[in-house]
């Protein structure tokens, strides 16, 4: 059996329902969203684990129950008695969603503070998946510890997949963000950036510049998402190509578009499909996810 470890922060999601005083509660977060869709897209010959840190309170228990109910492995979820999970609240106004976060002191910020737990989680795994958000929430010391753990994992033959997911608000300043993102790319076999973010924060003028930059930083392969536009990618030999994606008739909510694309893409490649087939699978899954409200859409898998 193969095993993937997704590393990052899952938060509680409170959203207005349209009925005054009534909220709905869920769980989401970039790396969790990808783990969720990987679990739904891969067969039972793959185990999908989530590596994070939570508290020991009732709300943290609910998150653990949620992960377990989804079939996501929780053996590497660290439980810290003096912390709890981060939360965000979605306000609905005229159909537009806006977000308020309480995550500055979340347990997940400590997910990499015990290197022996990182090593144990990665031991025997085939793939590790992480993001720029995972890196952003950590202390400098823990960023180095996680990069080191992933570098050793890659050295043993593990595949490291990284979505830069640039969120300048989580970093002290954009320059610091750029520096760490490139250090992360250097230990990652595959980078899955989104062009709009990369153009904004790195000044790339087209997706091939994004690809060349991440290759120059040490990534082996790069696949660049670009909303409704073509996906650009490299093969192992560094050749750059593009692949058109099917139009989505009705875009309802683009939350988790990139996260679900990544899951569909990886699930297809792990099932032996070509890079073009994997891009089509990623786009198919993302298309279903953005056609419905919320980050986690239970009906969506990359299977046709």
Report the catalytic residues: 259
Closest CA to 208 of 184, 239, 237: 239
Task: Single out the residue of 208, 238, 224, 9 nearest to residue 101, CA to CA.
Answer: 9
283, 261 contact by CB (below 8 A): yes
- State in angstroms the smallest separation of the CB of 140 from ligand ADP: 26
Q: Of 127, 115, 109, 104, give the one whose Cα is nearest residue 48.
A: 127
Total H helices, total E strands in the chain: 10, 13
CB of 223 to ligand ADP, least distance (A): 9
Q: If we measure between CA atoms, which residue out of 16, 19, 10 comes closest to residue 63?
A: 10
Please, which residues have CB within 8 angstroms of residue 233's CB and are 6 or more apart in sequence?
211, 221, 222, 223, 224, 240, 241, 242, 243, 275, 279
> What residue ranges bind ligand ADP (CB under 6 A)?
194, 225-228, 231, 245, 248, 251, 254, 257-258, 261, 283, 286-287, 290
Core vs surface per residue 100-125: b (16+ CB within 10 A) or e: eeebeebbbbbbbbeeebbeebbeeb
φ, ψ of residue 245 to 5 degrees: the values are -115, 150
Beta partners for 243? 231
Burial environment of residue 156 by CB neighbours within 10 A (0 to 12, 13 to 18, 19 or more): exposed
Beta strands in 165-287 (DSSP E): 190-191, 221-224, 231-234, 240-243
* The two structure tokens encoding residue 233: 């990618």
Handedness of CA 141, 170, 37, 218 (dihedral sign): negative
Answer whether 153's CB lies under 8 Å from 122's CB.
yes
């Amino acid at each position: 059996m193969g095993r993937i470890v997704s590393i990052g922060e899952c938060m509680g999601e409170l959203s207005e329902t349209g009925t005054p005083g009534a909220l709905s509660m869920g769980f989401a977060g970039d790396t969790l969203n990808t783990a969720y869709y990987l679990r739904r897209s891969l067969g039972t010959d793959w185990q999908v684990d989530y590596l994070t840190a939570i508290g020991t309170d009732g709300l943290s228990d609910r998150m653990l129950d949620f992960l377990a109910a989804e079939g996501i492995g929780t053996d590497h979820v660290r439980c810290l008695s003096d912390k709890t999970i981060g939360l965000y609240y979605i306000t609905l106004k005229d159909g537009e969603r806006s977000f308020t976060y309480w995550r500055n002191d979340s347990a997940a910020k400590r997910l990499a503070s015990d290197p022996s737990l990182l090593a144990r989680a990665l031991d025997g795994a085939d793939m590790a998946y992480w993001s720029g958000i995972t890196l952003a929430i950590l202390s400098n010391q823990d960023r180095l510890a996680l990069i080191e753990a992933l570098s050793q994992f890659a050295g043993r033959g593990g595949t490291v997949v990284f979505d830069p997911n640039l969120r300048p608000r989580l970093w002290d300043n954009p320059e610091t963000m750029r520096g760490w993102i490139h250090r992360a790319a250097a230990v990652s076999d595959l980078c899955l950036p989104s062009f709009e973010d990369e153009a904004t924060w790195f000044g790339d003028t087209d997706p091939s510049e994004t690809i060349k930059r991440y290759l120059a930083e040490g990534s082996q392969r790069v696949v660049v998402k670009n909303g409704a536009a073509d996906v650009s990618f490299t093969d192992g030999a560094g050749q750059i190509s593009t692949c058109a994606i099917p139009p989505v008739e009705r875009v309802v909510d683009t939350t988790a578009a990139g996260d679900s694309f990544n899951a569909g893409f990886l699930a297809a490649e792990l099932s032996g499909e070509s890079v073009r087939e994997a891009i089509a699978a990623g786009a198919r899954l993302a298309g279903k996810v953005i056609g419905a409200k919320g980050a986690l859409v239970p009906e969506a898998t990359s299977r046709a």
